[in-house]
Structure 1
């Protein structure tokens, strides 16, 4: 009798483990969908993390996935980068899959890039009829000083309006009911004028942020700002939430940016304190490959950015990514006239090597997109399979979404291994 009781307990325990594991395990991209790109090194698509630093992040995902408590739980991700991230296609794919698998806590960070005539992701819009000027962390004359999001917009109008909206290819939208506005400490908070009832205003622990809470979910909001005559109102970004448990995926990229730009514009990093990220992904390096910095300089700049962020977020997990190979345009002399052609930018490989070495030296997780995307000579394949943009430095939507899927898969493979132990 005792023998059968023990057997029953063991069988029940095994079944319970399998059910629990099935509930927390996440699917990765089907390998068959990647066979059309034979240059992708699918078997190498894992995170290098010798010290298992990602375990802390995986544990938070596991709790989020398996928890049935009604108390709201949010896991925050901050993804900083350059033009590859500013476009929003790579990070947008990451956000979509995180939301699908772990819950959608809101759109997260939105940055008014179009107000200074730059490109911004397609899933939100920030419009205004005011007269705006601004700066980015890559500008030599960066007044007003860039803040969260890597930029700042400013106006001297005494009264002005913002229209913010989340956009979607479908009839549904990424609705929100909480807006955190990031602004200069001496800039007055915004007020809602699109609805009179069910609106509450709150200060935050940070002097550069104020919060608006709505009683109902909305897809767009009409905001008003005011300033005293002669004053300059300065804004950096906004964060949209919906009060649900899930992932808040904050992504921020600035065209042309390097690690050094984030060091020089220290306020950009300092203000990330308000986002309290659990995971910080750093995707930089392409622009370093077009500059004059040597590997030691790049290593030192990476260290300064990581050190600054570690001081601000001592409990965060870091994930560095390497840039994929790209081409550079060169001028050649022909028989009758000069012509332009494309050659491999060999410095990208050296930058990738530096990032990998830094991650190993400092015990950080690393995702080696340079190798995973095909390694040396792979830029031709991305062009051949129509995944690159015309400049052969950037990628089209299909290319960025492929990279987003690969990065997500690499993270989730590590997560599945963690929950399967």
Structure 2
């Protein structure tokens, strides 16, 4: 199996290394954006586990926007909802970091959120919506009380707290003023009072970075509200197969995005990752190598997952080991977990955490050797 362990490091990581003290003190906040490799949750979920991050994060009722349920919650909706995503041109509904939004004018509409893990419980829930005088007010039922409300540009969040730990709730709306007649949801966030690493992962299946940049008009407001120390961007798979991909537009967009947020959050560090090597329906990703080269030429820290996998064409050896699904674009759970372990190893190297390196490296070596060969 082709895995390049000597390649497994983050290039130009001097700014990333400055976060080492935050990592060691457990006071690090990470925002991870990407495409389906992130939304599916196996890759990002394993990163979260390895970093021992708090059980928090932003979640969304994906089926209402014609996508699959998230990793943590199963959702059931009633009433009339309109779902949109960055995959289609502007619809008149604002979109934030999730890359999705659902909106309603039906005051009887609601969304039930049920934790998939019966052992998961929470007391504090943050609802992300819009700072609009015409917006209906969210309500989580009699067990929750509002503890705070904050506004950032055109976004606002409302914090609810329960006196008892719960594993489900129902989001509904109420009208507090005659002009209130609509509600747009940008996600709910579980808030933990415990100290520890925060890791927020948000992906959109099928998305390209320029779609998020051009169509998610509330991204900047939400990033400013979240104030992440590290922003990881994992895009490129869909661009690599796009015959109309424009390298100059792509480079200009990612530089503008980075510079705009950097001007607002100068302490935040950007880390871009390359797309993995894939072969969608046996098609060769025409722009894969060009994308990798473009990203490696930028000034920000860069993780070359493509090279770590073994380079162009290496996915064939991963397929033989059972680490890819039949589409040869998405990996199995074990394949994503191996990629996550490799990525976290590179992070630990940048942060000089030798104590955590060796046991994780041992796990990686065992998985590379044993593989996941299907029956």
Q: TM-score, normalised by structure 1?
A: 0.77
Moved more, 234-243 or 41-50: 41-50
Deviation at 1:93, TM superposition (A): 0.8
Equivalent of 1:234 in 171, 177, 184: 184
Give 2:71's aligned residue: 122
Distance in 2 between residues matched to 1:357 and 1:146, nearest whole Å: 30
Distance in 1 between residues matched to 2:245 and 2:284, nearest whole Å: 18
Q: Does 1:172 align with 2:142?
A: no
CA shift in 2, pair 1:415/1:322, >3 Å:
same
CA shift in 2, pair 1:284/1:128, >3 Å:
same
CA shift in 2, pair 1:230/1:216, >3 Å:
closer
Give 2:364's aligned residue: none
Distance in 1 between residues matched to 2:23 and 2:69, nearest whole Å: 29
Alignment of 1:154-173 (within 5 A): 154-168=103-117, 172-173=119-120
| Structure 1 segments unaligned to the other structure (5+ residues) | 1-37, 65-73, 330-341
| Structure 2 segments unaligned to the other structure (5+ residues) | 357-375
Alignment of 1:265-344 (within 5 A): 265=215, 266-291=217-242, 292-329=244-281, 342-344=282-284
Distance in 2 between residues matched to 1:327 and 1:403, nearest whole Å: 17
Distance in 1 between residues matched to 2:61 and 2:219, nearest whole Å: 15
Give 2:371's aligned residue: none
CA shift in 2, pair 1:40/1:233, >3 Å:
same
Give 1:225's aligned residue: 173
**Considering only CA atoms, is the larger Rg found in Structure 1 or Structure 2?**
1
- Answer yes or no: is the 8 Å Cα contact 1:109–1:249 preserved in 2: no
Deviation at 1:57, TM superposition (A): 1.7
- Answer yes or no: is the 8 Å Cα contact 2:348–2:354 preserved in 1: no
Distance in 2 between residues matched to 1:212 and 1:402, nearest whole Å: 37
Equivalent of 1:188 in 127, 133, 136: 136
Deviation at 1:107, TM superposition (A): 2.0
Deviation at 1:271, TM superposition (A): 1.8
Distance in 2 between residues matched to 1:49 and 1:325, nearest whole Å: 22
Q: TM-score, normalised by structure 2?
A: 0.86
Equivalent of 1:372 in 298, 304, 308: 308
CA shift in 2, pair 1:223/1:296, >3 Å:
closer
Distance in 2 between residues matched to 1:120 and 1:407, nearest whole Å: 25
Give 1:53's aligned residue: 15
Distance in 2 between residues matched to 1:120 and 1:378, nearest whole Å: 31
Deviation at 1:417, TM superposition (A): 4.9
Q: CA RMSD in A?
A: 2.2
